[in-house]
Structure 1
Amino acid sequence: MGESVGCRLCGEPLTRTFVDLGMSPPCESYLRADQLDSGETFYPLNVRICDNCLLVQLPAYVAAEDVFTDYAYFSSYSTSWVEHARRFVVDMQDRLGLGPDSLVVEAASNDGYLLQHAVALGIPVLGIEPAANIAAVANEKGIRTESYFLGEATGTDAAARYGKADLVVGNNVFAHVPDIIDFAKGLRALVKDDGLVSLEFPHLLRLIEGRQYDTIYHEHYSYLTLKTAAAALEKAGLKVVDVQELVSHGGSLRLMSQPAETAGEPSELVLKVLKDEEDAGLHTVEGHAGFAKDVFAIKADLVSFLVSAARAGKSVAGYGAPGKGNTLLNHCGIREDLLPFTVDRSPYKHGLFLPGTHIPIHPPERLAEARPDYIVILPWNLREEIVHQLAYAREWGAKFVVPIPRLEVI
């Protein structure tokens, strides 16, 4: 396995593999046409589990600075995600009595998809977004946003300039920071002593149950359970007080924590989720075994399906160009011969090519022109939304293919 890496939560050597997906390029490194004849760097996707604290993690093969300083993902292109954020802000306004004298800070605030709802309610906000190109978009919309990575030093500095926050939010960022303890200390530095920190991240329990191995990629450094997430927050003086189980991103946790000095007893739900994890074996190392076999089954089914479709003379196209699709396609070795193109709603991706596989990305209109027999849905977590959007494809008899958790033709 080469030299042993240390666990990012407890520092112990990592010697055990959870699943090894081979080599892949960074999943958001889409290519321009003029880059197709150059080399690409592939990095290992060898996910480890710590024998000591059980954190499932990918070593930082790719530095966060290389991934997140110029990023292609704009949250606002998913209608359901923006609505999810709006409901959360309204709930928090009720729960915490937020108003013109409050402050809401979001780490990894992207293009303001969430904070815009607080601004609309007259609540002061601060977004912290490392990708300067995306922070600029948020500022143009009037959502006060600064561009740097959150850690103890930058969090302390922001709190000194703006005051501490009643609510600190981090959606789909806790799993994406290489130094999870420094990030947690940044959250603690930003929040008032009686304030609330709300984090959403994919739940490892659901990833394993749903065989969602395509959510393993280089910028997803930690694969968290409630147990391991709570352990990381605890090192920064934050105590988990409540949790909600969400359907977003294949099954996520929304974890509420408060500074340990003021936090009360955890809710019943916290105990329930911990028990679910324990029942599934996730509080022991042995309970994590067997995932690699499930992963192979998905690969074998998808590749056989595409090969037999090609042999039968059927045409195939993809829908979506999400990062997770690139893990799946690279791991399965699927290239243009089996999937000639995919389409995506984000204009930023049109005319680009998928990393590693070089499959071209077109605007959605291309589907109606090509009229493929099969449409492979790559962002399977939005399958309902997408099947609904693509209802017109039934006119020419197209069928939808969803590869995960198991191959399904709709």
Structure 2
Amino acid sequence: MASVVDLGATPPCESFLAADRLDRPEPAYPLHLRVCTECWLAQIPPLITPEETFEEYAYFSSYSTSWVEHARTFVADAVERVGLGPDAFVVEVASNDGYLLRHVVDRGIRCLGVEPSVNVGAAAREAGVPTLTEFLSPDTGSAVREEHGPADLVVANNVYAHIPDVVGFTRGLRALVADDGWVSIEVQHLLTLIEENQYDTIYHEHFQYYTVASAIRALASGGLTLVDVELLPTHGGSIRLWARPAGVAGEPSRRVADVLAREKAAGLQELSGYAEFSTRVAKVRRDLLRFLIEAADRGETVVGYGAPGKGNTLLNHCGIRPDLLAYTVDRNPYKHGRFTPGTRIPILPPEQISADKPDYVLVLPWNLRTELVEQLSFVHDWGGRLVFPIPELSIVEVKA
């Protein structure tokens, strides 16, 4: 194993603190990304368990307008690609609050979500999406198949990196899918993470960081074969992996070979591709801190927008506290009145920005830049500006 970047020690990124916990200690765990020099899978040690993170979860996918639209488009395309008819069956693993499967329900297609978080799974059921509260394992996959039949399509979006037991999880996917079915997986692409300095997407929920090359090996461990790949803009740059059971997969598409060639050209199958990453990460930290300190010295106010998990990696790595970032806001009511882990920054409703009229708004979910520049256009009314920290510090004057 070779070091890629060491971000010190941070609390789990979704462990938002209630006010009555502020005087209690917080556990912090090393956050050190390394890459295996044999299989080239980038990973962090599994220091926290999925049960600790996901049994009650603070992230609700439906609060992102663009993410719900992304899911709607995916469902429409998948129906055509896979040929899902009225008798089809779709399973989504890590289905969150039903943000994706609601579009399957609307089409009258039978479906089931498999979601370990009790609170977000309950929200999905309230929205009319059938949801099983379980972690996926080979046994869970077999039990679902026994009760509901094999799935024509299994969807696993933004979960493949969250699993310490990749082999067991992949075998669970194979247990769910029909022998002639399809598996679709979306996961952040290590290539863009490295190229675009997206180091804040490294956190304890993410145990692995995939290239297409390392994903092919992971899928094969459970009897699945990659047949196609799509490059997506989501989460700053993701890959959508289309896989099938090995017996029916056939030859992979030309796009698979093209992305593999890009990864090889970027040096991600040798140490040279990782050599300068930690230096560029350190510059992001220095630039952001310099901006915040100089703004404070000028008497200008800076507040945050959003309280995503990635934001907590950034805030903790930079050592940002309320003296430099007075508060952040979030659309998710679950987080209101809570505080960011480690840095103890208050989380307030979005309306607070209009009330206070800050000079700058630091946008923590930078991956939603297009959506949020539009949502936050009202800061123009008092001359406020937006600040994006990744891939490099950018100060934006929004238009009304």
Aligned position for 1:387: 373
Q: CA deviation at 1:242?
A: 0.4
Which deviations, in whole Å up to 9, do the C-alpha atoms of 1:92-142 show, x marking residues without a partner?
A: 111122122110000000111111111111100010000011111111222
Aligned position for 2:80: 94
Question: Is structure 2 residue 103 aligned with structure 1 residue 108?
Answer: no
Aligned position for 1:19: 5
Q: CA deviation at 1:191?
A: 0.5
Question: Is structure 2 residue 278 aligned with structure 1 residue 292?
Answer: yes
Aligned position for 1:340: 326
Give the alignment partner of residue 161 of structure 1, picking from 138, 141, 147.
147
Q: CA deviation at 1:226?
A: 0.4
Task: State whether residues 99 and 122 of structure 1, in contact with CA within 8 Å, keep that contact through their aligned partners in structure 2.
Answer: no
Aligned position for 1:52: 38
- In 2, the alpha carbon distance for the partners of 1:73 and 1:358 equals 18
SS of residue paired to 2:262:
helix
Question: Is structure 2 residue 334 aligned with structure 1 residue 351?
Answer: no
Which deviations, in whole Å up to 9, do the C-alpha atoms of 1:22-50 show, x marking residues without a partner?
A: 01000000001111111100100011111
Give the alignment partner of residue 201 of structure 1, picking from 187, 211, 215.
187
Q: CA deviation at 1:287?
A: 2.1
Aligned position for 2:52: 66
Aligned position for 1:364: 350
Which deviations, in whole Å up to 9, do the C-alpha atoms of 1:234-262 show, x marking residues without a partner?
A: 01110000010000000000000000101
Q: CA deviation at 1:169?
A: 0.2
Aligned position for 2:128: 142
Task: State whether residues 225 and 277 of structure 1, in contact with CA within 8 Å, keep that contact through their aligned partners in structure 2.
Answer: yes
Question: Is structure 2 residue 306 aligned with structure 1 residue 320?
Answer: yes
Aligned position for 2:25: 39
Letter matched to residue 323 of structure 2: D
Question: Is structure 2 residue 107 aligned with structure 1 residue 125?
Answer: no
SS of residue paired to 2:239:
strand
Residue ranges of structure 2 left out of the alignment (5+ in a row): none
SS of residue paired to 1:109:
coil
Q: CA deviation at 1:321?
A: 0.5
Letter matched to residue 159 of structure 2: V
- In 1, the alpha carbon distance for the partners of 2:257 and 2:221 equals 20
Letter matched to residue 121 of structure 2: A
- In 1, the alpha carbon distance for the partners of 2:122 and 2:276 equals 44
SS of residue paired to 1:236:
coil
Residue ranges of structure 1 left out of the alignment (5+ in a row): 1-13
- In 2, the alpha carbon distance for the partners of 1:234 and 1:180 equals 11
Give the alignment partner of residue 233 of structure 2, picking from 230, 247, 258.
247
Q: CA deviation at 1:285?
A: 3.0
- In 2, the alpha carbon distance for the partners of 1:289 and 1:257 equals 32
Q: TM-score, normalised by structure 2?
A: 0.98
SS of residue paired to 1:327:
helix
Q: Structure 1 residue runs of 4+, over 4 Å off?
A: none
Which deviations, in whole Å up to 9, do the C-alpha atoms of 1:372-409 show, x marking residues without a partner?
A: 11110000001111111111111110011111100011
SS of residue paired to 1:110:
coil
Aligned position for 1:406: 392
- In 1, the alpha carbon distance for the partners of 2:108 and 2:75 equals 12
Q: CA deviation at 1:368?
A: 1.0
Please give the root-mean-square deviation of Cα atoms over the aligned residues, in Å. 0.8
Q: CA deviation at 1:54?
A: 1.0
- In 2, the alpha carbon distance for the partners of 1:141 and 1:389 equals 25
- In 1, the alpha carbon distance for the partners of 2:259 and 2:11 equals 34
- In 1, the alpha carbon distance for the partners of 2:294 and 2:123 equals 45
Question: Is structure 2 residue 199 aligned with structure 1 residue 219?
Answer: no
Aligned position for 1:228: 214
- In 2, the alpha carbon distance for the partners of 1:368 and 1:118 equals 37
- In 2, the alpha carbon distance for the partners of 1:344 and 1:142 equals 25
Q: How many matched pairs?
A: 396
- In 2, the alpha carbon distance for the partners of 1:72 and 1:220 equals 16
Letter matched to residue 370 of structure 1: D
Which deviations, in whole Å up to 9, do the C-alpha atoms of 1:266-289 show, x marking residues without a partner?
A: 001001000000000012233222
- In 1, the alpha carbon distance for the partners of 2:230 and 2:129 equals 27
- In 2, the alpha carbon distance for the partners of 1:36 and 1:44 equals 21
SS of residue paired to 1:255:
strand
Task: State whether residues 68 and 131 of structure 1, in contact with CA within 8 Å, keep that contact through their aligned partners in structure 2.
Answer: yes
- In 2, the alpha carbon distance for the partners of 1:365 and 1:116 equals 29
